[in-house]
Amino acid sequence: MTVGRALQGIGTGFTVPSAQAITTTIYLAGAERNTASSVFGGTAAVGSIIGVLLGGWRWMFYIAAIIGFILTVLSVVVIPAAKAQGKVEDRRLDYFGITSITF
């Protein structure tokens, strides 16, 4: 159980910054980006609270995988593909940040 929780934290450490980067590069600054960031932050907070309250720790692992798969498929339809405005040259990973957020 502890190993599964650690792996879940590491996975979150990889996906959350990537998802936030996609949100800030795809949507234009202003109301559109603010709405996307609000939905991202709100659903993450509410989802983690409801998941623990309704399913408990054990079911959270199973439900998270199912919901994650459904949202991945929906993101292909919802997120526009060619709307990015800028080109980022620096694509280095912050290894210290990734490891420190998971512990």
10-residue block means of pLDDT along the chain (103 residues)? Answer: 76 80 85 88 80 68 79 80 61 76 66
pLDDT of residue 13: 75
Cα separation values, 94 from 14, 21, 25, 63, 98, Å: 10, 13, 18, 29, 6
Give 51's contacts (C-beta < 8 A, 6+ positions apart).
Answer: 60, 63, 64
What is the rounded CA–CA span in Å between residue 83 and residue 44? Answer: 24
d(CA 71, CA 54): 20
pLDDT at 1: 65
Both structure tokens of 23:
């949100």
SS3 assignment, position 84: coil
| pLDDT for residue 50 | 76
